[in-house]
Structure formats: structure tokens, C-alpha cells
Amino acid sequence: MSDKTLKQDILDELDFEPSIDAADIGVAVEDGIVTLTGHVTTFGQKITVEKLVARVKGVKGIAVEIDVRYPGTAGNSDDEIAKRAVNMLKWSNSVPADKVQVKVQDGWVTLTGTVDWNYQKTGAADAVRDLAGVIGISNQIALRPRVSSIDVKKHIEDSLKRNAELEAKSIRVNVAGNKVILEGNVKAWYERRIAEQAAWAIPGVTMVDDRLTIA
């Protein structure tokens, strides 16, 4: 696929998404590497744009240089953002109570604490990313290592085989303690995320080293 064709596919994908204004987003493609520029009105939209582009066939890598520009600043002071973030975490079904702490500086939210599962860690970030005034998130929540008798490698490999979108034979899984290493080839950028999610879904995994390449 040519860079010109890939760029048009990306623009069409962005135009198709009603939750974002693609008119303010610039797209450049070189050798399958996509650079996104421009601005959006929430941090959540920035994440949405990245996910949309990642799932387009032919994308080999993404550089996100999109700014978050809020239409107003009223009520967006750091202390107000922190209060709203704490409330959102309390209301989230994914985040265990009193396990996550919030710090806000110049609109940038830092999450700390310790949880048992990766979905709880990602759920905390998802809970606060669309708040007005948030320009970025540093998710420093730690995962608690858990001793488990299950065969981590086999469970991940079985999960990959069940996924119709992946060629499981081209992915190698290695486990070192609580760390999972993924190696081999996938056909598209978004398939790397599918493989990562399969690894993170196993209890006791605290780190995933994604070394997959796009063939």
C-alpha cells in the first residue's frame, strides 16, 4: 500500500468518527509511519484518534503530536480537576476503593497506587481522561505480583489461538517471572494491542514486553 493511499484511508476513518472533529487534525505518512498533528478539545479525543488510526490496515507506527486545547479555563484549576478525578475514581466499577491516588499539576494528572489487575489500572485512566482541563495522564499505578500455579505461557498462547484476528503461530510467548515477552510478527498495528491484552489478562503478570514486528 502506498503512503498516499494509507493517508486517505486514515482521513476517511477519522471523518467517519462522529465524536471528533477531523478538520483540526493533520495526517502525514512516510513509509507506513503516521504523524498526527493539530488539536482536539479533550484528552479523551486525543486517545480516540490514536486508537482509530492504529486499527487502519497498513499503519506500522504512530507519532502523536496532537495538542489538547480547551475552549475555556473556568473550573479547570488543578485543585478542581483533582476533586473531579477523585470522584470519578470513586464512581468507577473498575477501580477498587481507596487504592489509587491523584496528583494534578498544570492539567497533567498523575495516578499512583497499587492494584491487582491491569484492567483496574487502565480503568483508572479511562475514568479521568475525559475530564475538562486534563491535558495528559501519567499512569504510575503498580500491579501487585501474585504467586500463581497456572501455566501463564499456555494460558496466553491458548487465548491468542482463540482470537480470530490473529495468526497465533507467528507469535512467540516467553515468561520470565511476572514478565511476559511477546516476539514474532503480526499483520497490523492493532494486532499488537490484541496480543498485549491477552498477556495482561493473566493474573500475576506485572509487565508485558512487546517485541512484535509488523510484517
CATH number, domain of 110, equals 3.30.1340.30
Of 20, 47, 68, the last residue of a domain is 68
pLDDT at 34: 93
**Per-residue pLDDT tens digits for 69-79:** 776 655 578 88
Asked whether residue 94 falls in the same domain as residue 122, the answer is: yes
**Per-residue pLDDT tens digits for 69-122:** 776 655 578 888 899 999 999 999 889 888 999 999 888 899 999 998 888 999
Amino acid found at 166: L
Position 193 in a domain: yes
Q: What domain range is 158 assigned to?
A: 152-214
Alpha carbon separation from 184 to 35, 51, 162, 171 (Å, rounded): 25, 22, 18, 5
Whether residue 47 has pLDDT greater than 80:
yes
Of 88, 116, 143, the last residue of a domain is 143
Position 13 in a domain: yes
CA angle 180, 206, 94 (to 5 degrees): 125
User: For residues 71 and 192, what is the distance between their CA atoms, to the nearest angstrom?
Assistant: 35
Per the structure, how many domains does the chain have? 3
Asked whether residue 137 falls in the same domain as residue 171, the answer is: no
pLDDT at 107: 87
